Amino acid sequence: MKYYVLIIMSCFINMTYSQNCKSKFFGEVHDFHDGTPMIAASIYIENLDKYTSTDIDGNFSFDNLCDGKITVVVSHLSCETKRFDIQISGDTFYEVNLEHHIEELNEVKVKGASNSKLTKTSQETIIKAKTIERYSASSLGDALKEVAGVSSINTGNTIVKPMINGLHSSRILILNNNVRQQDQEWGVEHAPNIDINSAGQISVIKGSGTLAYGGDAIGGVVVINPNRVISNDTLYGRTIIGGQTNGRGYNISSTLNKNYSSGWFAQVQGSYRKNGDFKAPDYNLTNTGLDSKGLTTRFGKKKFKSGFEVYYSYLNNEIGVLGTSHIGSTFDLVRAINSGQPILIEDFSYDINTPKQNVTHHLAKVNYYKRFQNFGKVNLQYDYQHNQRLEFDVRIGDRKNIPAIDLTLQTHTILADVNLDSNLNQKVNFGLMGRFQDNFANPDTGVRRLIPDYEKYDFGIYSTAEWKLNDDLIVDAGIRYDFNKIDAKKFYRKSRWEERGYNIDFQNIIIASVIGSQVFNGVIDPNAQEYLTNPVFDYHNISGSVGAKYSINDNNQILFNYSLASRPPNASELFSDGLHHSAARFELGNIRFDKEIANRVSGSYTYNNSKFSFLTEVFYNRIKDYIYLKPLDFILTNRGPFPIWAYEQTNAELFGIDISATYNFTDTWQWKNKTAFIKGYDLKADLPLIDIPSFNTMNQITYNHEAWHNFSASLKSEWVFEQNEYPDFNFEIENQLTEEIISVDISSPPPAYHLLHFYSEATFALSKKTNLNIALGVNNLLNTSYRNYLNRLRFFADDLGRNITLQLQLKY
């Protein structure tokens, strides 16, 4: 028996000595971007419990390893840890590439500065998720007013259009999840079709801050990003339920996110909001309700080296327009202005009657990106948008339910973008954009079409660069070229055609004459009542920017930026030819218009310490061929006289200063201030510009006590001064029945006003992973009667009275 034992032991000893345990495992650890060696990276062999670190050249090695499979863990400060298996067979070499700044990038992204397509020297302000959540029952335009220098131009209280440093509409570029919003933004009464509940973060950039999406952002850029993707196996969500006393409104929004450590992710978000008639301090605002439905979904895979995303959003808004704003003639407008309160006041109702808007917006997007070692990142994106706008006027008979304006806008866009970031001290970004847009104006409305059918073609190419000269100084620059082509089909009345002098300058664009109900193609007939024309315009636009950001020390920073922006006229400015009843005016475009060219210079100074932060931003914006609406003449209709407002061009300048400050008296008491001052002038006419915000300042005192379930309470004081510089567009008109001369005051701003607002909240932990936030707010605490100069319905009624809001937010 002992011989058998000796034989087995001998075989085992021989097997042991025959296994190779002299192998060497060695390699290098490099930065993925630029290939530089990673010093002091930790290398750990998990199943052998062996450890080492890289030297100054990024090298590491392990000696005397047995052949076989080992599990290696590589980690480094501010890096994503890598874990992988290696088969050792003799001496084995392995190269490891780590993303050196991945944690830093994720953190910066939360603050809104990680998007490489934004210039680092722009005047950018971030609205974080916590602030956005407060506006779940409001609009994007309301939330943006949290930023100094940002106001809004309103049509009532539910159609809120953002205004940055005095500019709005087509001069502001809105990016929704990397897609440029296309929703007929040219109209003052066209609010952005974006559900604020789908936003995880909003950046407001004053001036042209992103050449990657357009060079026409004369006023500024709003960047809306969804919640960031977390590369962990997790399921989480948020539900917000709210109610308000003014308008007896209620709203609900819910979001559910699923993420995997493999990079796969999915999100779905839905919201619903309902309001009835709102109320001024002394009366109901009849027919001002809102019914809003939104849905957003996205899924994809996001890893550092590559990924893709599919995104879809839907929003439908049915919006009541103040009933008394429906004007039958200029005489009705005079009566409304002089009455002091709405002529039509009815009991509260959730019904939305005419006049009203019904707007539906669809957005679909797919994008793909891939990183290449020692090179950079390539992005490809396609997006499609479908926007239908229906505007209903007060009509009788068979046309009661037929919209007076029926526009369908479809937009296809392709983007290709390359970001060269292998050199961390020098980054270059360049790309191409192609876009096709088709606008269809339904002719079956029974009303002359305000905007014609047109097709629009856009092509853009751009390049930006950023240099980190040292730890304190960053310089960036960029240039962009855009080609825009608009091809329209439009009917002109012969009388209007000749009145505007188009028969001299544009006779060659007539493609048919209309006599009675007959159309004669290729004929210019002197007996024609209308001409069918085919205006085709090409625009070549150059835009650019250059800037510098310098850190004086840990507390002080200064910034300088110069931008050149070029904006071609939009369809409304070129082709408008019809009546807007709620504005009581005809609007006329001009096909002679050239593009706007803006030169903007801005600077900022920032100071921060543990108790006090201060930011002041100054700017000067000079715009050549600035386009604006101006009263021109009268037109007599079967309903009475209406003023004609015509688009005109001039040279303009805007300048101002925005101030933001925060002071922490103690750990629990805080003071905030936000102040904006702006002036705008028509340099040709030597007059102030119309619709410029007046001086305004906000002060807020907040009490915080984290031990009391993160309790906070704040009182906000809002002062809006009277606008004392405005163009005098008032006019007089004769009542042909009484021969009375009537003065129509459409220019004088309302007086200054002061409002107080209260807000408080607390958060309660329901479990380890679930908490409930309860928020109570009171807007216009003292129920003050006031009118805002930038509200187009100020002629007819006061703004909103006191509004008590209650919001419950469950995070799980």
Pick the closest to residue 59 from 93, 96, 25, 28 (CA basis): 28
Q: What is the mean pLDDT of residues 428-433?
A: 94
Q: What is the mean pLDDT of residues 678-700?
A: 96
Q: What is the mean pLDDT of residues 364-390?
A: 94
The pLDDT score that the predictor gives to residue 211 is 85
Q: Is 132 a domain residue? A: no
Q: % helix / strand / coil in the chain, to the nearest 5?
A: 10, 55, 35
Q: Is 483 a domain residue? A: yes
Tens-digit pLDDT profile for residues 606-654: 999 989 999 999 999 999 999 998 887 666 665 556 778 899 999 999 9
pLDDT at 660 over 80: yes
Query: Residue 8 gets which letter from DSSP?
Result: H
Q: Is 526 a domain residue? A: yes
d(CA 454, CA 448): 16
Q: Is 375 a domain residue? A: yes
Pick the closest to residue 110 from 201, 9, 4 (CA basis): 201
Tens-digit pLDDT profile for residues 21-30: 888 999 988 8
> Where does residue 444 rank: exposed (0-12), middle (13-18), buried (19+ CB within 10 A)?
exposed
Q: Is 493 a domain residue? A: yes
Residue, of 20 and 171, whose pLDDT is higher: 171
The pLDDT score that the predictor gives to residue 630 is 87
In this structure, what CATH number is given to the domain that contains residue 32?
2.60.40.1120
Task: Please identify, among 58, 80, 100, the residue that sits at the C-terminal boundary of a domain.
Answer: 100
The pLDDT score that the predictor gives to residue 4 is 47
Task: Please identify, among 70, 100, 130, the residue that sits at the C-terminal boundary of a domain.
Answer: 100
d(CA 275, CA 592): 43
Confidence of residue 266 (pLDDT cuts 50, 70, 90): very high
- Between the ranges 107-116, 325-334, 478-487, where is the mean pLDDT highest? 478-487
In this structure, what CATH number is given to the domain that contains residue 268?
2.40.170.20
Q: Is 434 a domain residue? A: yes
pLDDT at 455 over 60: yes
pLDDT at 458 over 80: yes
Other CB atoms within a 10 A radius of the CB of residue 764 amount to 11
The pLDDT score that the predictor gives to residue 335 is 82
Does 554 lie in the same domain as 418? Answer: yes
Tens-digit pLDDT profile for residues 219-229: 999 999 998 88
Q: What is the mean pLDDT of residues 728-735?
A: 80
459: left (phi over 0), alpha (psi -120 to 50) or beta: beta
pLDDT at 454 over 90: yes
pLDDT at 579 over 80: no
d(CA 391, CA 358): 6
Domain count, the chain: 2
Q: Is 177 a domain residue? A: no
Tens-digit pLDDT profile for residues 280-299: 999 999 999 999 999 999 99
Does 235 lie in the same domain as 96? Answer: no
Q: Is 128 a domain residue? A: no
pLDDT at 41 over 90: no
pLDDT at 604 over 60: yes
Confidence of residue 46 (pLDDT cuts 50, 70, 90): confident
pLDDT at 464 over 70: yes
The least confident of 61-70, 308-317, 394-403, 535-544 is 394-403
Task: Please identify, among 100, 133, 161, the residue that sits at the C-terminal boundary of a domain.
Answer: 100
- φ, ψ dihedrals at 571, nearest 5°: -60, -35
d(CA 54, CA 675): 53
d(CA 351, CA 360): 19
**Cα 602 to Cα 63, 254, 557, 561, 596, distances in angstroms:** 60, 40, 14, 5, 19
pLDDT at 59 over 50: yes
- Residue 505: enclosing H or E segment and its boundaries? helix 502-505
How many degrees, rounded to 5, is the angle at CA 696 between CA 716 and CA 780?
40
d(CA 621, CA 218): 9
pLDDT at 393 over 50: yes
Confidence of residue 390 (pLDDT cuts 50, 70, 90): very high
- 238 and 164 in contact (C-beta within 8 Å)? no
- Residue 43: enclosing H or E segment and its boundaries? strand 42-45
d(CA 644, CA 119): 42
List the domain range (segments joined by +) for residue 77: 23-100
- 142 and 151 in contact (C-beta within 8 Å)? no
